[in-house]
Amino acid sequence: MKWIDVQDIAIELAERHPQQDPTQIRFTDLRDWVLALDGFDDDPDHCGERILEAIQQAWIDEVD
């Protein structure tokens, strides 16, 4: 997975952290969790606030 795989990342996060409310997560934690996902293989420095916002929104949509 790469940073641009927003939907796949959101699905993985929802499955891995079902107890977490994605509206309450800090971006620093979100970034760390994405980097820890199995199969994630992208440069950590290629992540910015816009990507994290997109992942967070996709995660919110996934759990709704």
pLDDT category of residue 31 using cuts at 50, 70 and 90 = very high
Cα→Cα distances 60→3, 9, 28, 41, 64, Å: 17, 12, 17, 23, 6
Question: pTM of this prediction?
Answer: 0.95
Mean pLDDT for the chain overall: 97
Place of tokens 């980097």: 35
Percent of the chain at pLDDT > 70 equals 100
Q: Looking at residue 28, what is its pLDDT?
A: 96
Residue 49's domain spans which residues? Answer: 6-63
In a domain, 16, yes or no: yes
Q: Looking at residue 58, what is its pLDDT?
A: 98
**CATH number (domain holding residue 54):** 1.10.10.600
Q: Looking at residue 38, what is its pLDDT?
A: 94
